[in-house]
Amino acid sequence: MKLQRPEEECGIFGIFNHPEASNLTYLGLYALQHRGQESCGIVSSDGSSLHAHKSMGLVADVFGNQEIFKSLPGKSAIGHVRYSTTGSSVIKNVQPIMVDYSRGSIAVAHNGNIVNAQIIKDELEAYGSIFQTTMDTEIIVHLLATSKANSLLDRISDSLNRIKGAYCLLFLTETRMVAVRDPNGFRPLCLGKLGSSYVVASESCALDLIDAEFIREIEPGEAIIITNEGMTSYFPLQKANPTPCIFEFVYFARPDSYIFGKNVYQVRKEMGRQLAREHQVDADIVIPIPDSGVPSALGYAEESGIPFELGLIRNHYVGRTFIEPQQAIRHFGVKIKLNPVREVLKDKRVVVIDDSIVRGTTSRKIVKMIRNAGAKEVHVRISSPPTSYPCYYGIDTPNRKELISSSHTIDEIRKYITADTLGYLSEDGLISSVGTENTSYCRACFTGSYPVKFPKLGIAPQLDLFEKELPEYE
């Protein structure tokens, strides 16, 4: 069952030179499960060859049998959890991608989205390349294989300087692991250490689970090569002004993670405080839409002085699909995941805090559910600006015509979701909550201003990898 909101992207994890590499990678992926619940995989290296296990499903299901780890020997491994942003949801698209080519074997795990993917794919196919997946990640593998450079770093540099978009990448060969973050730094990527072993992860929460020490974030445009001799840092990519994704703070990252120099929980709490300053209302209680709305609701309650309550309880054990009973149950899709606490809501003026409104259909059902539980008034507060534009940098958002704020005023949205009042956090309020020392965050989902330009339509008439319309071409 899906609540109507932007879907997660992907998460990557890797560890080099540890006797339990595959087991620790499994745990790292477990900590990153929120970034993708569609499929997962691990590739390990025993020093002479690569081994893989991957499948559709959640990490605990795919790697639930301890016997699987016997097929993943070696002291180095990389892993991936996926929610598709390009390519369909099928087994052939499960990452990491592993291939054998003239220089040996290599595996790649990717978080992000390549905006000029179709142009490069058309060019490679014209020269005889055959693609086995529908993912943009496979393009990177083909570029590596066709590069004339001698060293692995130079081949990676040649390949990545041809692509545009968002990417955090982990490469694994028989003898080394390479981590790369795109020059814009759209997605988070951090470096840690466990004893003498280096660890790379999309978020620091994955380091915490395995007791690894957080060293630092990998810089935009940085490539790190890890071998038995140690770690070396390079900056082989074309420079750009970093534009980290601000929506990582709003929704995607786990609240206990440290990304872009900030703790996510503290940022979300400040977003709630700022929301209370901008949109005050007389009310009896503040409740969050769990789980992502909880820190902002706490901040709103603290700033406003209105008591915080858990008026909605989330069922954390709901899978991705369910069978709906033949007899119609009102708001069944939402109720299977959220249930109101009537004793908390009855006869109360309620402030409901959520992180975003996408299509509005889920918000409408939640407001009606709260009213049916006895609330006198329902005031909806959103801890981000209106989401009016789709993302092309690794987040699976609907196309623009499905985003309610792209075609409706705030008051029209309020009427549609049947709230008494509706208030969004302003863009300036979001920036101040995150930190005014860096105002270059990517805010394309709010503004429509995309920091990485798109291919001209005349060059690539078919951009089917995106599965959604592109904005104005530049």
Q: Round to whole Å and give the CA distance between 33 and 50.
A: 24
Residue 359 · residue 4 · CB < 8 Å = yes
Please give the single-letter amino acid code of residue 158.
D
Q: Is there a binding annotation on residue 40? A: no
Q: Round to whole Å and give the CA distance between 323 and 332.
A: 11
What pLDDT is stored for residue 263 in this prediction? 96
Percent of the chain with pLDDT over 90: 73
Residue of 10, 40, 190, 205 with catalytic role: 10
Q: Is there a binding annotation on residue 354? A: yes
The helix (run of H) or strand (run of E) holding residue 193 is strand 190-194
Q: Is there a binding annotation on residue 363? A: no
What pLDDT is stored for residue 130 in this prediction? 83
Q: Is there a binding annotation on residue 391? A: yes
Known active-site residue 10: yes
Domains annotated on the chain, with CATH: 10-243 (3.60.20.10), 264-316+326-447 (3.40.50.2020)
pLDDT averaged over every residue in the chain: 89
pTM of the model: 0.89
Q: Which tokens go with 287?
A: 């409740």
Q: Round to whole Å and give the CA distance between 454 and 458.
A: 12
**275, 149, 248: which is closest to 189 by C-alpha?**
248
What pLDDT is stored for residue 431 in this prediction? 94
Q: Round to whole Å and give the CA distance between 196 and 212.
A: 10
**Tens-digit pLDDT profile for residues 401-439:** 889 999 999 999 999 999 999 999 999 999 999 986 666
Strand partners, 442: 245
Residue 10: other Cβ atoms inside 10 A: 29
What pLDDT is stored for residue 457 in this prediction? 39
Q: Is 435 helix (H, G, I), strand (E, B) or coil?
A: coil
